[in-house]
Amino acid sequence: MFERTAERLSGMVQIPTVSGKGNEALYEIGRYKEYLAQEFLHLFGSAERIAIGEALLLRIEGTDPKKKRPVLFTGHMDVVPVDEAAWKYPPFSGAIVDGCIWGRGSQDMKGPHCALLSALDELLKEGWKPEREIWLYLSCDEEIGGQTTAKAAAWLKKMGIHFAMIFDEGGTICENFMGLVDGRAALFGISEKGSLEYRFTAFSSGGHAANPQPNSAIVRLAELMHDVEKEDLFIRKLSDGNCAMLKAIAAYSEGEKAEQLKKAAAEDAPYPTLYQLTPEARNLLGGTIAFTMIEGGTAMNVMPKKAVLTANVRVASVEGEQAVTKKLQALAKNHDLICELVDGVDAAPESRMDTEEYLAMKRSVEQTYLGLPIIPFVLGGGTDSRHFLDVTDQVLRFSPMHAAPEQGRGVHGDNESAYIKDVQDAAKCYYELLKNQL
């Protein structure tokens, strides 16, 4: 089973699907979809296809859809751009060398996608008929915000389709997680931080630079930034999911370290044990803010009438967008600035870890990868699943595929690659999940 994995994934990598403005020549999404349809004949031959722009929904009929609610597997076909000169093998060569498939997307996420589609194709070839409906969403623009995904979610909502679980990318099987787990572990993403864009605008009367007035637009923005750096803006608190993560790591650890982890999960602010355990403690304990753009002024000798500062906030579920917006607006007022929330999504609610579908994935991983620790965690970045929160009860952000540390760095970086064996194992895990567990 899954003998053709390397060839298949190599073919997927060879068709560039780089999304975003200016990349049109490397965005062969039509050809890519044709390739998938040819390569996964049994899947594409039997599933109902619904086109949402360039994206695709696939529905596999269930024999007893009333018994169990449907599930959706979401994944993206597009990839991020490359810096070709830095690659050992050309990024769209799909070179098969040293037991690996090399190229953009081999990890994120043509590799995991190849595994999932291979499992479904194999099962359908064998005459498998799922009890519940199985849905797939193949996104065309995840890497640039997933606008089409919002349309797909709206369509599903209009059709009255509601999922018990959405399986998305996010966590993988990685090594030495946060410096706390020795060796490999499967990371089940149960939530993700939100990402919010704020704009601060300062106005002042302007005038000649030879006659500067105090509290100019630029100075007031600088004062705001100074305040934010000086005072911690966010509530520092472990969420239930983060506690579960520490406890899970403790369960797979021994001796002193296990005790420390349990202690960290039980303690309150200021979390001394957690800070001792990991330098990533601060990110676990709430939001972050980064000032990313600033503009103002028109000439060296003119006081600006207006200056604008942009901040990116990663908001955690323990606090949420509304509370953060209130704080930033109050702070802005202190410096006579206007604060606006321009765009973004709030932190996702934490999924339950005791649902039938969560446990089904857990068992599938346990069967495929004997003895592998399974750790729930909260993602720092966003996934496509945020668009689907209205049409599902739960989300699990996890691809059952291993990535070696250097392969993890290849995601959105140079020299992305995947081991053939790792893609095959991921396919086996999906096969187990779909056939025996879901």
Q: Which one of the spans 30-38, 100-108, 111-119, 298-306 is the region binding Zn ion (CB under 5 A)? A: 100-108
Minimum CB separation from Zn ion for residue 208, in Å? 52
Which H/E stretch holds residue 260? helix 255-266
Least distance (Å) from Zn ion to the CB of residue 173?
A: 15
Q: Which two tokens stand for residue 294?
A: 């600033």
Smaller CB distance to Zn ion: residue 109 or 331? 109
Residue nearest to Zn ion (CB): 108
User: Residue 176, Cβ neighbours under 10 Å: how many?
Assistant: 12
Residue 358 phi, psi (nearest 5)? -60, -45
Q: CB nearer to Zn ion: give 5 or 107.
A: 107
Site stretch for Zn ion (CB under 5 A), options 41-49, 106-114, 146-154, 370-378: 106-114
Number of helices (H) and strands (E) in the chain: give both, helices first.
14, 17
How many of the chain's residues bind Zn ion (CB under 5 A)? 3
108 or 121: whose CB is closer to Zn ion? 108
As a whole number of angstroms, the distance between CA 212 and CA 36 comes to: 64
Each residue 129-148 as x (binds Zn ion by CB under 5 A) or -, in order, gives --------------------
Please state the φ and ψ torsions of residue 82, each to the nearest 5 degrees.
-125, 155
76/132 with CB nearer Zn ion: 76
Q: How far is the CB of 416 from Zn ion (least distance, A)?
A: 11
Nearest distance from C-beta of residue 363 to Zn ion, angstroms? 25
CB of 403 to Zn ion, least distance (A): 12
- Among left, alpha and beta (phi > 0; psi -120 to 50; other), residue 105 is left
Pick the binder of Zn ion from 26, 77, 109, 303 (CB under 5 A). Answer: 109
User: Judged by CB, which is closer to Zn ion: 33, or 335?
Assistant: 33
**Minimal distance, residue 75 CB to Zn ion, in Å:** 8
Per CB under 5 A, 401 contacts Zn ion: no
User: Which segment (78-86, 109-117, 270-278, 345-353) binds Zn ion by CB under 5 A?
Assistant: 109-117
Find tokens 């399986």 and name the residue: 167
Q: Where does this chain touch Zn ion (CB under 5 A) — which range of 80-88, 166-174, 198-206, 325-333?
A: 166-174
For 70, residues 6+ apart whose C-beta sits below 8 A from its C-beta are: 62, 132, 133, 134, 135, 161, 163, 164
d(CA 301, CA 280): 44
78 binding Zn ion? (CB under 5 A): no
Shortest distance (Å) from residue 226 CB to Zn ion:
36
* Interacting span for Zn ion (CB under 5 A) from 22-30, 99-107, 163-171, 429-437: 163-171
Alpha-carbon distances of 194 from 258, 266, 319, rounded to whole Å? 30, 25, 11
Q: Which residue is listed with tokens 């753009």?
A: 293
* Least spacing, CB of residue 412 vs Zn ion, in Å: 8
Pairwise CA distance, residues 287 & 270, whole Å: 15
Distance CA 6, CA 12 (A): 10
Q: Which two tokens stand for residue 382?
A: 């966003």
- Report the DSSP beta bridge partners of residue 56: 51, 138
- Least distance between Zn ion and beta carbon 101 (Å): 16
Asked if 108 is part of the footprint of Zn ion (rule: CB under 5 A), the reply reads yes
Query: What are residue 100's phi and psi, to 5 degrees?
Result: -125, 155
207-208 vs 302-303, strand pairing mode: antiparallel
* Span 34-73, contacts to Zn ion by CB under 5 A: none
Query: Which residue ranges make up the site for Zn ion (CB under 5 A)?
Result: 108-109, 169
